[in-house]
Structure 1
Amino acid sequence: MKYLLIICLIVIIILIMKIIAMKLSIKELREGYEERAGIHTNTVLTVSSRDKEILELAKTLNKTIVKLRDSYNRYEHGDQEIKSAITNISHDLRTPLTAISGYLELAQRQDCSPEMDKYLTIIKGRTEHMKKLTEELFEYSIVTGGEITEEKQDVNIGKMLEDCIMNYYPALKARGIDPVIDITEEKIVRNLYPTYVERIINNLFSNALKYSSGDLEISLSDDGRLRFANSAPNLSSVDVSKLFDRFFTVENARSSSTGLGLSIVKIFAERMNCGVKADYIEGKIVIVVDF
Structure 2
Amino acid sequence: MAILLCALTGMLIITVILLFIKIRILQKSAGEISKALADRLETETNTLIDLSSRDPYMSALAETINVQLRKLREERQRFQQGDRNIKEAITNISHDIRTPLTAICGYLELLEREEMSEEVRRCLCIIQDRADVLNRLAEELFCYSVTTSAPFQQKREAVSLNSILAESISAYYAVLKGSRITPDIHLPESAVMRSLDKNALYRIFGNIIGNAVKYSDGDLTIKLDENGGIVFSNHAPKLNELQAGRLLDRYYTVEAASRSTGLGLSIAKTLTEQMGGSIRTSYAAGTLSILLHFP
TM bucket, shorter chain:
0.7 to 0.9
Q: Contact 2:152–2:274 (CA<8 Å) still a contact in 1?
A: no
Alpha-carbon distance, 1:51 to partner: 4.9
The share of aligned pairs that are identical, in percent, is 41
Q: 1:188 to 1:47 in 2, by over 3 A?
A: closer
What's the counterpart of residue 207 of structure 1?
211
User: What do you get for the CA RMSD once the two structures are aligned?
Assistant: 2.7
Alpha-carbon distance, 1:177 to partner: 2.0
Q: 1:249-282: per-residue Cα shift (whole Å, max 9, x none)?
A: 12121x4112121222222222223343323243
Q: 1:192-249: per-residue Cα shift (whole Å, max 9, x none)?
A: 1111211111112101111112222233334443332222121122322222222221
Q: 1:207 to 1:52 in 2, by over 3 A?
A: closer
The yes-or-no answer on 1:185 pairing with 2:178 is: no
The yes-or-no answer on 1:5 pairing with 2:7 is: yes
What's the counterpart of residue 277 of structure 1?
280
Pick aligned residue for 2:80 from 62, 68, 76: 76
Alignment of 1:38-117 (within 5 A): 38-47=42-51, 49-117=53-121
Pick aligned residue for 1:286 from 281, 289, 292: 289
Alpha-carbon distance in 1 for matches of 2:154, 2:215: 32
Alpha-carbon distance, 1:80 to partner: 1.6
The yes-or-no answer on 1:143 pairing with 2:147 is: yes
Mean CA deviation greater in 274-283 or 13-22:
13-22
Mean CA deviation greater in 33-42 or 259-268:
33-42
Alpha-carbon distance in 2 for matches of 1:71, 1:84: 20
Q: 1:112-170: per-residue Cα shift (whole Å, max 9, x none)?
A: 23222221111111000011111111111122224222321111222222222222112
Q: 1:13-34: per-residue Cα shift (whole Å, max 9, x none)?
A: 6666555555554544444444
Alpha-carbon distance in 2 for matches of 1:286, 1:50: 57
Q: 1:220 to 1:49 in 2, by over 3 A?
A: closer
Q: 1:49-94: per-residue Cα shift (whole Å, max 9, x none)?
A: 5554444333322222211211211222222222222222112211
Mean CA deviation greater in 219-228 or 18-27:
18-27
The TM-score normalised by the length of structure 1 is 0.86
Q: 1:138 to 1:56 in 2, by over 3 A?
A: same
Alpha-carbon distance in 1 for matches of 2:146, 2:48: 35
SS in 2 for 1:41: coil
SS in 1 for 2:172: helix
SS in 1 for 2:60: helix
Alpha-carbon distance in 1 for matches of 2:165, 2:25: 66
Q: 1:56 to 1:159 in 2, by over 3 A?
A: closer
Pick aligned residue for 1:127 from 116, 127, 131: 131
Q: Flag structure 1 segments of 5+ consecutive residues without an equivalent.
A: none
Alpha-carbon distance in 2 for matches of 1:66, 1:260: 34
Aligned length: 290
SS in 2 for 1:177: coil
